[in-house]
A and B are shown apart, each in its own frame.
Chain A
Amino acid sequence: MTDTDRAGPRNRLHLPRRHHGPRVTTDQARSRLRSLATGARPSRGQVVAAMLLALLGIALVAQVRSTDEAGLRQLRQAELVALLDNVTGRVDALQQEVVQLEADRLRLQGEQGGEAAAVAAAERLESYAILAGTVPVQGPGVTIYVNDPEGGVTQTMMLDAIQELRDAGAEAIQIGAERVVASTWVGTDAEGRVTLDGAPLVPPYRIVAIGDSHTLAAAMAIPGGFSDSLRGVGATVNVVEDDDLLVDALHPAQEPRYARPVPSAPE
């Protein structure tokens, strides 16, 4: 704001015929201020002015109070409409944000679910791969050396061995260079040799089973079981427990040609 008193409106009602402010020195002005403060003659005009100022004070305080506590009551219609518009806009924006955030949350949950599913799938894949014999595995277990100089070991005995080992919780079995899996079959070839998945086994046999080594060893030593029956036909059986064995024979995975999974019922 300009602070020249030459500018601005010149029609002040309380200053009749004022061309511009009379030249007032600061001393004059200050002495007049002092006389104002220390008291003037209580004329009627002074009293009326005081009453007017009292009214002004009351109005001032009342207005300040009402502004402080003003809700929407003293706003004009246009202002109210603008305010309502504003609030509505804000509500819209916030609702959009809510929708956005909900979508984000859903997406994240889906991703999390996907991650969990991926982890579960990886674990399942691992156990299936071990079961299918497509990966080499290591762990504690037993190694069974069978020396069969007389060729007395039969297909049934080999089946018994596999059966006993599985019964004792063997998780992976390797006989010779062949991995024993779910589809593994024991047979004999034309020369009377025991075959595993069609591959002939040549003595001495070496059977590696991964599992709890004590349980496996105990299963092999059951009276009238595998070891006994083999010794009965003149073979020697030697079971060695070990904390870290390697089953490195692999069974090539085959796509099933006939079996198909039953489609899961729609939920």
Chain B
Amino acid sequence: MIPILGLVIGIAIGLVVSPEVPLWLQPYLPIAVIAALDAVFGATRAALEGIFNDRVFVISFLSNVVVAALIVFLGNQLGVGAQLSTGVVVVLGLRIFSNVAAIRRHLLGA
């Protein structure tokens, strides 16, 4: 409940304040957001399975974001930023899909 509230509040703040994305963050923010979304879906699945753990969620969230940003940063340094970003997005997309599929099975039994 509280995390959901937090998400709603965050979106509201974003809409009201409409913060400017700093230039140095621009390559990393989209990837970071997708990584965080992956963590959120994983946490939702875990909550439905009754094994949700705050600490694990926080750590996985932060590490997902940081690792995703690091991979993109490394790719940019190596000159394969675009390809690595695509790879990261694909992998995170797969995980999001499988998590959503699990959530669906749990809730709908199909």
Contact = CB atoms under 8 A, between A and B. Distances in A.
Interface of A: 1-5, 7-9, 12-16, 18, 21-22, 24-26, 28-30, 32-33, 36-40, 42-63, 65-67, 73-74, 76, 78-79
B95 A57 contact: no
B56 A3 contact: no
B33 A56 contact: yes
A62 B21 contact: yes
A156 B95 CA distance: 118
Contact of B37 (A42, A48, A50, A56): A56
B29 A50 contact: no
Contact of A54 (B13, B20, B42, B91): B13
Nearest to A6: B98
Interface string B40-73: 1011011111111111111111111000000000
B78 interface: no
Complex A-B, nearest 6 residue pairs according to Cβ-Cβ distance, in ascending order: A45-B54, A57-B10, A61-B14, A50-B6, A54-B10, A3-B101
Contact of B18 (A5, A16, A65): A65
Main secondary structure of the interface of B (DSSP, over half): helix
A1 B97 contact: yes
A57 B9 contact: yes
B26 interface: yes
17 contacts: A3-B97, A4-B101, A5-B98, A5-B105, A12-B60, A13-B59, A13-B60, A14-B39, A26-B107, A46-B54, A47-B2, A51-B6, A57-B6, A60-B14, A66-B21, A76-B81, A76-B82
Main secondary structure of the interface of A (DSSP, over half): helix
A1 to B, nearest CB: 4
A242 to B, nearest CB: 94
B71 to A, nearest CB: 15
A1 B94 contact: yes
A4 B3 CA distance: 28
Interface in B90-110: 91, 94-95, 97-98, 101-102, 104-109
| Of B6, B8, B17, B19, most A-chain CB atoms within 10 Å | B6
A57 B13 contact: yes
Contacts of A1: 94, 97-98, 101
A50 B7 CA distance: 7
B56 to A, nearest CB: 4
